[in-house]
Amino acid sequence: MPKVLIADSLSPRAVDIFKTRGIEVDVKTGLKPDEIKAIIGEYDGLAVRSATKVTADIIAAAGKLKVVGRAGIGVDTVDVPAATQAGIVVMNTPFGNSITTAEHAIALMFALARQLPQADRSTHAGKWEKSKFMGVEVTGKTLGIIGCGNIGSIVAERAVGLRMKVAAFDPFLSADRAKRWASIRSSWTSCSPAPISSPCTRR
């Protein structure tokens, strides 16, 4: 029977899914790197989130490991070259929290437009500075999005629903998708909020 180590906190449903598929599961969170190295040789799979760093040393100690699954968008906590060299598949869940993250970006945009943090602090201080925190409407504003992949595209769609204009930059967009949004290169000066939903790369 395959055996999986869950090294970070996951939903109980994850354990149930593994078990219903005939996979033995151990949930051991909060382990230090040396502790993981000491036991990883027993496992065929490793499931992590952001807390556990799957380093080359851990991978070298993982004699049976076939797959590392990260419950998240990126794989920045996994030494992918070392895993690839060892023949270990690295997987992630790129769509898992895309909507949640995009909606959070929209919520932050509203907080910025309406000065909600400042108004909150003022009210908690016993003031009522109504005219000071009028804010601005987002309708008609241009939203500049840097990185228009899974999350950025959802942000763009929500912004259009708010009657905003959208300008985007993403060097990896297909020509068809790029046609949907104005170029941020020509619209940058007119952009009001400009969320960044992109990893830091040379491009």
Residues 136-150 pLDDT 10s: 999 998 888 888 888
Q: Please check whether residues 32 and 88 belong to one and the same domain.
A: yes
**Rounded to an integer, what distance in angstroms lies between the CA atom of residue 10 and that of residue 93?**
13
Q: CB count, 10 Å around CB of 156?
A: 22
Identify the domain boundary among 52, 69, 92. Answer: 92
Query: Residue 155: which CATH number?
Result: 3.40.50.720
- pLDDT for residue 203 is more than 60: no
The pLDDT, as a whole number, for residue 147 is: 83
Mean pLDDT within 163-180: 79
Residues 76-122 pLDDT 10s: 899 999 999 999 999 998 777 888 989 999 999 999 999 999 999 99
Identify the domain boundary among 46, 77, 92. Answer: 92
The pLDDT, as a whole number, for residue 181 is: 65
